[in-house]
Chain A
Amino acid sequence: MIELRNVCKVYETSAGPNCVLDDVNIRFSLGKSVGVLGRNGAGKSTLLRIIGGAEMPDSGEVIRRGRVSWPIGFAGGFNGSLSGEENCRFVARIYGRDVDLVVDATRDFAEVGAYFTMPVRTYSSGMRARLAFALSMAIDFDIYLVDEVTAVGDKNFQEKCRAAFAERRERSSVIIVSHQTKTLKEYCDRYAVLNRGRLEIFESLEEATECYEGKLAA
């Protein structure tokens, strides 16, 4: 369970303060996956980092129960000069897991082949995201935070991700942020739209899409 209460986040920019989250209230319960729609720059990644605890809100509070993943996506989290394997070892250690089990499971899932023992900076962005995805599956969280990467890899890999999530659906849930409505439907039970710092919640994708596209047109 994760709950955000009156969360605000403002970034100081050279063009004045930019209010990314303005009094956001939402409750994510276990077993219910949520998709958050928002256009580029709407603050989706900030929202995920605040949910995960990598950043702190300026005001308001975040209540977290259960093991929450780091935001899984194309960006961040890996050291480019270390190999995929070394990065996995590090992450397994900071989450207090058995290092060898995690490394083996990640190697099997990630499909990066011989690149697994090469520096991460030599990876394509897709390979990086696949590694992050596989690693998060190996570590086993209650709540997964996913940043735009549902369309990672080829059809085969996507199918594997779907299967992996389906298998743990009863014990884990997902919070996905995306600027596309398409990929959300397969994973989510509830939807939200983030626009100008406000988060609106919808029970169906149709309502959310309607609102989102209305905002896009405006």
Chain B
Amino acid sequence: MSLSRGLLTQIEVVEALVLRETRTRFGAHQLGYFWAIFEPALWVATFYALYAFVGREAPPGMDLISFLLTGLIPFSLFNKITQQVSESINGNKALLFYPQVRPVDIAISRAVLEVMTYTSVFAIFIVSHALFTHEWPAVEDALMVILGFALASGLGLALGLVFCSLGVLTKLADRVRGPLLRPLFWCSGMFFTANDLPTNVREAMLYNPLLHVVELVRDGWFTAYHTRHADIGYVAMWLLCLMALGLLLERSVRRKIEVT
């Protein structure tokens, strides 16, 4: 099969899978759409209340809602994509019945669906926030925000591929995923900016590529915030290494998957 023919088949397959995943996830009752909005809304409301309760404020130049959102959305993109992609083989073995459907296609389509969901959620929140406060956000650098979202999604896809391939070899992969990723919730800059951290803490935190991603998004979003620490090259290195590992593992476990 030639490369262009192969690529065409893959695009056809991914497109069909995205449509199908949308149907299965959001279902006949549209309750899925409600949850997709409700879950992050609840999250933002909880932390908004918490901040108000302890009297903490967003860093200077940011309003609290936008501060929380610019942390939550990139983190959720990464986190949800990792989770969904990790489960893409085990939940979908019936699909592998069709030889042109490969695990990596299911992984990509699940990532695409999460990206569509979370960017819609972000847009809905931003628009409703603007309508409520009568103040439109003056986005400083939209491309930087998009780059941040893309890097977060890419990292999620790559790590998800690693986990879903390891999951074929051992059940342990699914068990350790949660505990392994949980610290990222607190270290990815959802509740602070890198500029505000003490130097020694910051140096340790900056090993986490997600903190760089959140910094990039906030730098692009807020006119008043300029990160001094985000390093696109560092995130790109993580992305390349994880993606190479993920794709390599996916190829090597393909023949081990038992289609039932």
Contact in complex: A55, B259 (CB < 8 Å): yes
Interface residues of A (CB under 8 A from B): 11, 49, 52-58, 68, 70-71, 75-79, 81-82, 86, 89-91, 93-96
Consensus secondary structure, chain A interface: loop
Contact in complex: B100, A78 (CB < 8 Å): no
The 8 A CB mask of B1-43 against A (1 = contact, 0 = none) is 0000000110011011101100110010000000000000000
Q: How far is the CB of B128 from chain A (nearest CB, A)?
A: 32
CA distance A40 to B17 in the complex (A): 33
Which residues of A lie under 8 Å from residue B254 when comparing CB positions? 56
Residue from A52, A76, A93 within 8 A of B94 (CB atoms) = A76
CA distance A58 to B255 in the complex (A): 7
Question: What are the 4 closest A-B residue pairs judged by CB atoms, nearest first?
Answer: A53-B99, A93-B16, A56-B255, A77-B97
Which residues of A lie under 8 Å from residue B17 when comparing CB positions? 90, 94
Say yes or no: A90-B94 contact (C-beta < 8 A), given A54-B259, A56-B254, A81-B24.
Answer: no
Q: Can you list 25 A-B pairs with a CB-CB distance of less than 8 A?
A: A49-B259, A53-B99, A54-B96, A54-B98, A55-B255, A55-B258, A55-B259, A68-B99, A70-B97, A70-B99, A77-B94, A77-B98, A79-B20, A86-B20, A90-B16, A90-B17, A90-B19, A90-B20, A91-B98, A93-B12, A93-B16, A93-B19, A94-B13, A94-B98, A96-B8
The 8 A CB mask of B96-129 against A (1 = contact, 0 = none) is 1111110000000000000000000000000000
Say yes or no: A94-B12 contact (C-beta < 8 A), given A70-B97, A70-B99.
Answer: yes
CA distance A68 to B259 in the complex (A): 18
Q: Does B133 reach chain A (CB closer than 8 Å)?
A: no
Contact in complex: A79, B94 (CB < 8 Å): yes
Q: How far is the CB of B87 from chain A (nearest CB, A)?
A: 15
Contact in complex: A78, B94 (CB < 8 Å): yes
Which residues of A lie under 8 Å from residue B258 when comparing CB positions? 11, 55
A55, A68, A70, A79: most-surrounded residue (chain B CB, <10 A): A55
Q: How far is the CB of B28 from chain A (nearest CB, A)?
A: 9
Residue of A nearest to B20 (CB): A90
In chain B, positions 62-104 with a C-beta closer than 8 Å to chain A are 94-101
In chain B, positions 242-260 with a C-beta closer than 8 Å to chain A are 254-255, 257-260
Residue of B nearest to A53 (CB): B99
Consensus secondary structure, chain B interface: helix
Say yes or no: A96-B94 contact (C-beta < 8 A), given A49-B259, A82-B23.
Answer: no
Q: How far is the CB of B188 from chain A (nearest CB, A)?
A: 34
CA distance A89 to B19 in the complex (A): 10
CA distance A99 to B116 in the complex (A): 24
CA distance A38 to B100 in the complex (A): 27
B257, B258, B259: most-surrounded residue (chain A CB, <10 A): B259
Q: How far is the CB of A93 from chain B (nearest CB, A)?
A: 3
Q: How far is the CB of B25 from chain A (nearest CB, A)?
A: 10
Residue of B nearest to A75 (CB): B260
Contact in complex: A96, B20 (CB < 8 Å): no
A11, A71, A76, A91: most-surrounded residue (chain B CB, <10 A): A76
Contact in complex: B19, A76 (CB < 8 Å): no
CA distance A55 to B260 in the complex (A): 10
